[in-house]
Homo-oligomer: A and B are copies of this chain.
Amino acid sequence: MISDYQSFTADLQLSKEDICRELYRQNTDMIRVKKEATAIRSLARIIDSTLRLANTKGFHAMTLRDLCADSELSMGGLYAYIRNKDDLIHLIQTHGFILTRRTLLHYTGAVTMPREKLYEAIKAHLFLSELMRAWFYFSYMEAKSLPEDEKQRAITMEREIEGIFCGILEAGISNGDYRSDNPRLLSSLIKALLQDWYLKRRKYRDQQVDIDTYATTILNLIENHLIP
């Protein structure tokens, strides 16, 4: 169970290194660097820089020269890790998918009561998107210009997440916690609210709304609607 954002951050051994190791091993075909240690270090830098630059000017507007400058690699060096610009997208998306799937399932799997579970799912998604804001932002903003296979992967992931929320609402309706309503529509609305947190992060910072307040506000909004 998650108590608040502080404890979540401590809990989740974010260990970017672990994920980069997995990334490296999954992509030995396109990565031509054989020494794992250096490869992992470079991959982390490449992903980091790409996310930063792409989120500022857009992925297409970001040139590979920009990326090389920011990640402190040469053009030749970069091309040891990717075959072309689209491979960058693949690396980044895979990296985010692994972490998101792992985290959401872990935290919602630990609870069974619908109301409690809804709160856990909201917090897990929100907190994760806070920690990985750059990835969530990238993934949302570049979705429309992804290569076709990546687009499909992204849609599947989206459905999976909305399915989690929808399942919780359905369970709550059938066990009488919630009144009868359209769970699919409501889970879409919850998702929209969760997304606004990382899409319009600055707005909430200006309003001095903190993440725990945001989580409870969403929960209250939904519960006041579903519990007469």
What's the minimum C-beta distance from A88 to chain B, rounded to whole angstroms? Answer: 15
Decide if B192 touches A209 in the complex (CB within 8 Å).
no
Decide if B200 touches A196 in the complex (CB within 8 Å).
no
Partner of A207, one of B57, B184, B218: B184
Chain A interface (Cβ within 8 Å of chain B)? 55-58, 60-61, 141, 144-145, 182, 184-185, 188-189, 191-193, 195-196, 200, 203-204, 207, 209, 213, 217-218, 220-221, 224-225
A interface secondary structure, majority:
helix
Decide if B196 touches A144 in the complex (CB within 8 Å).
no
In the complex, which residues of chain B have a beta carbon less than 8 angstroms from the beta carbon of A55? 144
CA distance A37 to B128 in the complex (A): 54
- From A59, which residue of chain B is reached at the shortest CB distance? B58
Number of copies: 2
In the complex, which residues of chain B have a beta carbon less than 8 angstroms from the beta carbon of A184? 207
In the complex, which residues of chain B have a beta carbon less than 8 angstroms from the beta carbon of A189? 193, 196, 217-218, 221
Residue in A57, A189, A213, A218 with the greatest tally of chain B CB atoms within 10 Å = A189
In the complex, which residues of chain B have a beta carbon less than 8 angstroms from the beta carbon of A185? 207, 209, 213, 217
Q: What are 10 A-B contacts with C-beta separation under 8 Å?
A: A57-B145, A141-B141, A188-B207, A189-B196, A191-B196, A192-B192, A195-B196, A221-B225, A224-B224, A225-B225
Given A221-B225, A225-B224, A196 and B207 touching (CB < 8 A)?
no
CA distance A56 to B55 in the complex (A): 18
What's the minimum C-beta distance from A177 to chain B, rounded to whole angstroms? Answer: 16
CA distance A191 to B199 in the complex (A): 12
In the complex, which residues of chain B have a beta carbon less than 8 angstroms from the beta carbon of A60? 57-58, 60-61
Which 6 A-B pairs have CB atoms at the shortest separation, nearest pair first?
A192-B196, A60-B61, A224-B225, A60-B60, A58-B145, A224-B224
- From A55, which residue of chain B is reached at the shortest CB distance? B144
